[in-house]
Amino acid sequence: MVTWTTYGTWLQGDKRRYVQDGKILPADTELEDANKRLQKCNIVRLTSIQKKVVNNAILEEAERIGQKIFALAVCSNHVHLVACRQNESIESAVSRYKNVATAALKKTGLLKRVWTRGFDKQFCFDDAVLEKKIEYVLRHNRTV
C-alpha cells in the first residue's frame, strides 16, 4: 500500500501527525509553520472532476503495464493505492503513477505542481494485512 499527498496539504509537523522515514511523528506547530513559509506553490486540492481524472489515469496505466490494483482511493488531498508487486521498485511505480496522473491533469488545464515529494509505503506480508489495507482504502472511497 502506498500513499502520496497533493502539494501543501499535509506538511511535516501537521496536527494529524506525519510520516518521515517510515516513522509516524507527532505534531510540531513550529515545524509546520516553517514548512508553510518554504512553500513555493499554492496548496493543491483536487476537485471531483480532477479526482476522476487521476483515478482513471492510474487505472489505465495499471492495465497497460499489467499491474493488479486491489484498491484505489483518490481524495482531494491524497491518493491511497494497494497494488500487487511488480518487477519494478516501489519508488519507480509511484513515480509512474504520479507522472501519468499529472499528465492527465495537465490535459484538463492544471499546470502547476500537483504532488509532494515522496510517499508512504506499507507492506502487506500476509492475506490478513492485505485485506485490512484494502478495506481501509475502500472506506476512503465511501467518504470521498
Q: How far apart are CA 12 and CA 26, in angstroms?
A: 9
Total of domains in the chain = 1
Residues in the chain: 144
How much is the mean pLDDT over the chain?
Answer: 90
The amino acid at residue 68 is: K
Residue 1 CA to residue 119 CA, distance in Å, equals 10
Residue 141 lies in a domain: no
Residue 25 bridge partners (DSSP) = 18
Q: What band does 34 get if pLDDT is binned at 50, 70 and 90?
A: confident
Cell numbers given for 132? 485490512
Q: Give me the domain span that covers residue 20.
A: 2-136
Residue 92 falls within a domain, yes or no?
A: yes
**The pLDDT of residue 135 is above 80:** yes
Q: With CA atoms as reference, report the closest residue to 93 among 53, 62, 60.
A: 62
- Separation between Cα atoms, residue 56 and residue 103, nearest integer Å: 12
**Domain for residue 8, yes or no?**
yes
Mean per-residue pLDDT for 86-115? 94
Is there a domain that residue 142 lies in? no
Share of the chain above pLDDT 90, in %: 62
CATH number of the domain that 87 lies in? 3.30.70.1290
